[in-house]
Structure 1
Amino acid sequence: MQTLSLDQFKRSLSADAPPALPAALSALWWIGRGADGWDRAHALVQDEPGADAAWVHAHLHRVEGDAGNADYWYRRAGRPSEVGSLSAEWDAIAASLLAGA
Structure 2
Amino acid sequence: MTVAEFRAAEGGEFTGALLALWWDARGDWQKAHEIAQEVPGADGAWAHAYLHRKEGDTGNAAYWYRRAGRPVAGGDLPGEWEQIVREMLARG
TM-score (norm: length of structure 2) = 0.94
Deviations 1:7-58 (A, max 9, x none): 100222xx4xx13112100000001112xx1111111111321100100000
Distance, in Å, in 2 between the alignment partners of 1:100 and 1:44 is 20
Aligned to 2:77: 86
Distance, in Å, in 2 between the alignment partners of 1:32 and 1:47 is 18
How many pairs were matched up? 92
Aligned partner letter, 1:8:
E
Q: Of the candidates 58, 63, 68, which is equivalent to residue 67 of structure 1?
A: 58
Distance, in Å, in 1 between the alignment partners of 2:13 and 2:44 is 16
Taking only the aligned residue pairs, the percentage that are identical comes to: 50
TM-score (norm: length of structure 1) = 0.86
Aligned to 1:11: 8
Gaps of 5+ in 1: none
Aligned partner letter, 2:15:
P
Aligned to 1:28: 21
Aligned Cα RMSD in Å? Answer: 1.0
Gaps of 5+ in 2: none
**Superposition misfits of 4+ residues, deviation over 4 angstroms:** none
Distance, in Å, in 1 between the alignment partners of 2:82 and 2:54 is 14
